[in-house]
Amino acid sequence: MVTNNNDKNSIFLKNIERGKQEGLITLTDDNARITYHCSRDYSTSFKNPEETVRASYFVELVLDYQYPKNQIDIEVTVPRRTPEDRADIVIYEDDDLKTPYLIVECKKDGVTDAEFKQAIEQAFGNANSLRAKFAIVVAGTTKTAFDIAGFKPSEREKNVIADIPVKYGRTPKYRFIKGEEDKELKTVSKDELITALGKSHDTVWQGGKLAPTTAFDEVSKLLFCKLRDEKLTKRGEPYKFQIGTHETADEVFKRVNSIYLKAKQEDSEVFKEDIRLDPKVVYSVVEHLQELAINKIDLDTKGIAFERFMEDFFKGKMGQFFTPREIIRFCVEMMNPKRGDLVLDPACGSGGFLLNTLDKVRDYAEKNYEGLEAWEYWHSFAQNNLYGIEINDQIARVCKMNMIIHDDGHTNIISTDSLRDFSEINNLHPKFGKDKFDIILTNPPFGATVKSTEKNYLDHYELGKGKKNQKTEILFIERCVNFVKPKTGRIAIVLPDGILSNSSLQYVRDYIMEKCQIEAIVSLPQFAFAHFGAGVKSSLVFLRRKGDNEKLGNYPIFMAIADHIGYDATGRKDPKNDLVEIKKEYEKFVKNPTGYKG
């Protein structure tokens, strides 16, 4: 709900603040009531989220669209409407409030498409009864304006206009023009972005006509077009990802699709299929997203919003593709990646480990370098140092989309089976090679079994030779060891506790000790992955691959148990997180392994 959104980036709260400063609205100390200072003083409750939208848009009408406040009225009774109806805001052409010009219908942010259509009918009914020239429906960041006077009462498409006129002037052809201050896209808060993405998904999903994952795919394509349009539109030109005056759904679709087809030509890896949506559905998504300056939203906000949006649709259905943020962050902190490191996740899912690694490098760059130098520092890392493999093609696309949202690195995400022969992976992307990577961060799939009859690669593995079948997580250990550089390559991997304790799996532990130095083992609670649909008791294992003839003898291993990890069994936040303390203890251990006393 908008009223709960205290984010300083909220466009609603920014407008309300402007309105208070300019004396257009007054709020009581407890924010329970609002007074509009228009043609009269009108007071009402401010507890309804719809009121936040109305207050915000009222301020825009006066300050941005330059309508005189003495020619605006609130809650206007509409004649000839049964049951009796009231228009949320009416702008008049005269001081006597006799000639209605514009009717505004306000709804809270996040209403369904059906509710939005209903609001359009309400706006038309009120505008026709009052004989107004224009009408606009404002549902949070989704806005649609209509030319009422010049069309038949039943028209709902050809009379859509890009925006209402400024101060009784002419209707603009386009509302958003790059570089023009009053026509620029708007930066929004995290909650507003999540709401806009959610509305877009619901529009595409069409109440279950498409599978949620297919709908997500299609939203991703449109989001990709939106981000690309924001970047590539030249200053002074109208953005393509918007609805122009009197444009039909077909015309809007054609323009958006042209962005997509051009991108597909240049980078066929991100999306292989065409946009598979009806033009009317694309038109509605453009309505939801056109106002947002998504590229200008800071990366952390954008990343959290996209992650939340993804989790809402994939958790439960595809829980295995998500590793909880707290665990990811801990692993990244433990590995402490640097700019020159080549980092791989061979089971990358939606990209959590890779993106948190990028965040770590970006954070370092922004603290130590200025402007363009900082940007180039982390951007070259994103493009050249982050690699991911994901077996599920659809989730690989989600990961690529996630990388694009975070400002790139998507070209090094491939969709294949990480356990295939190295030469086959290398054929797909030449930069994926044996003995190549500095760091692996991964949460491999648990529990699946590879049978020698199904896959011809079992005999290529020391841990698969002569076996009729083998668990994927065991083969993943060997694959990770072979992916990293001898002597310096390091691995952070989530492993089921059975590998560390079952007597029948001693040969796996022997393999690990033969090939690697075990740097640390951190035991996670039983519920660590439970709210993602996986209940296997696991630990985080940190390894360094040994050099070819390296002998270590006895050496100390850092071991810890985490009971609290920042969230509980239901996924709710837990203020206690043992992983923070464990990281501090590990730093002490690294400084003096033999003398460390935990």
Over residues 198-218, the pLDDT tens digits come to 889 889 988 778 877 788 888
CA 309 distance to own-chain centroid = 6
Which CATH number does 315-591 carry? 3.40.50.150
Q: Which amino acid is at 362?
A: R
61-81 pLDDT, tens per residue? 999 999 999 999 999 999 875
**Amino acid at position 594, single letter:** T
For residue 316, is pLDDT > 50? no
Window from 132-141, 210-219, 311-320, 385-394 with minimum mean pLDDT:
311-320
Measured CA distances, 111 to 140, 173, 288 (Å): 9, 27, 11
Please tell me which residue, 323 or 581, carries the higher pLDDT value: 581
Lowest mean pLDDT among 13-27, 199-213, 375-389: 199-213
Residue 260 structure tokens: 């997509």
Cβ(347)–Cβ(418) below 8 Å: yes
Helices vs strands, H then E, count in the chain: 17, 21
pLDDT for position 319:
47
Residue-level pLDDT at 310: 74
412: nearest Cα among 260, 270, 265: 270
Q: Which residues of 469-482 are buried (b: 16+ CB within 10 A; e: fewer)?
A: ebbbbbbbbbbbbb
Q: What is the mean pLDDT of residues 508-535?
A: 87
Instruction: State the Cα–Cα distance between residues 351 and 573, nearest whole angstrom.
Output: 22
DSSP 415: -
Contact 348/323 with Cβ under 8 angstroms?
no
Q: Is the peptide bond before 83 cis (omega within 30 degrees of 0)?
A: yes
Segment (H or E) for 312:
helix 299-314
Q: Is the pLDDT of residue 571 over 80?
A: no
Judge whether residue 495 has pLDDT over 90: yes
Rounded Cα gap, residues 441 and 420, in angstroms: 19
Question: What are the phi and psi torsion angles at 186 (to 5°)?
Answer: -110, 135
Query: Please, which pLDDT band fits residue 432 given cuts at 50, 70 and 90?
Result: very high
| Domains 2-172 and 315-591 in one fold | no
530: pLDDT strictly greater than 90: no
Q: What is the pLDDT of residue 222?
A: 92
Entry field: residues in the chain: 598
Q: Give the best-scoring range by mean pLDDT among 22-26, 156-160, 460-464, 498-502.
A: 22-26
The helix or strand, by DSSP H or E, that contains position 527, with its residue range, turns out to be none
Residues forming a β-bridge with 136? 104, 145
Q: Report the percentage of the chain scoring pLDDT > 90.
A: 61
Architecture of domain 2-172 in this structure: Alpha-Beta Complex (3.90)
Instruction: State mean pLDDT over 185-198.
Output: 88
Residue 29: is its pLDDT beyond 60? yes
The answer, yes or no, to whether residue 82 has pLDDT greater than 70, is no
Please tell me what DSSP assigns to residue 161.
E
Query: What are the C-alpha distances in Å from 11 to residues 29, 177, 207, 208?
Result: 21, 18, 29, 31
Residue 559 has pLDDT above 70, yes or no: yes
The mean pLDDT of 122-137, rounded to a whole number, is 93
pLDDT at 154: 84
Mean pLDDT of the chain: 89
Name which of 90-99, 147-156, 431-440 the model is least confident about: 147-156
Q: How far apart are CA 197 and CA 483, in angstroms?
A: 37
User: 348 and 444 in contact (C-beta within 8 Å)?
Assistant: no
* Residue 328 CB contacts under 8 Å (≥ 6 apart), including other chains: 352, 353, 356, 441
**Cut 0.85: pTM above it:** no
The Cα 337–Cα 362 span in angstroms is 11
User: Which carries the bigger pLDDT value, residue 484 or residue 295?
Assistant: 484
List the domain boundaries for the chain: 2-172, 190-296, 315-591
Average pLDDT over residues 22-48: 95
